[in-house]
Amino acid sequence: MSELFGTLSDGTPVHRWTLERAGVRVRVLSYGGIVQSVEVPDRDGRRADVVLGFTDLAGYLTHPEPYFGALVGRYANRIARGRFALDGRTYALARNNGPNSLHGGERGFDKRVWDVAEVEHGVRLTRVSPDGEEGFPGRLEVAATYTLDEAGALRIAYEAVTDAPTVVNLTNHSYFDLGGSGHAGGHELRLAASRLTPVDADLIPTGALQDVSGTRFDFRRARAVGTGYDHNFVLDKGVTDTPVEVAELYDPASGRVLTVATTEPGLQLYTADHVGAPFAPGAGVALETQHFPDSPNRPEFPSTVLRPGEVFRSETVYGFGTR
């Protein structure tokens, strides 16, 4: 089902699609590819929205920086000093996070209106990012397909092709609050990650891979998340052709469980410490599947380079249940 959700100042309409299957209801916006809401039952069958978001378009336009539920690109996470070199040429990007480029720049994919077409059990969002958009090279044709499978899991599959060498890193930026209470501090997290990428004062990876043993970053056994995290974890499985489960988030109060499976090699854990009003710090937990931050400047990291004739593919699956 689709409906008009609002209109931008230039008159561009924004639509909302509702997907429903196996007791799960998901609403997706053409603006930013935003997952506006995900409604799932608790252990007693009571439904609640388990992602942070707004009830109207104005909320997203007024509060863009937390990237609530957005499709993030052309490059998710940070690129140091807003610059990278590729094939001997240096590219300068928009710097929108101190000295760095973050989540695609000042007007990344999260602030664009996407074309949307219905597919079986979901929708397919497409757009063309022109050569030079936010400083990135190459004309990039992008598609993101959101579907609900027979178990009610939300599957997001990304594809992209380019006409010139470029870099690509796409993710969804939903913040999960499994209790629907406005605070996720009591959630318990398990992550299949033995290492993380430590960062400097500007949150740029140093290039090292740090063992999580004996640190507050060790979530290999489920424990309370708390706050104070904005870090990329190196998933033990690495890059895979099909999604592999890497994370589980559990809310003991409601009994809701979120599982995350992905093809990506990394996952950014962000505990919403700086989301701002109307939400409080710790209101949700973002689990952003991705390649590593600043990979274009780190040849030792898994590559994010896409060349003509290649197809970028990535898939992440968010499963919902109770216990």
Name the residues annotated as catalytic. 173, 288
Residue with tokens 């997952």: 35
CA-to-CA distance for 144 and 159, rounded, in angstroms?
6
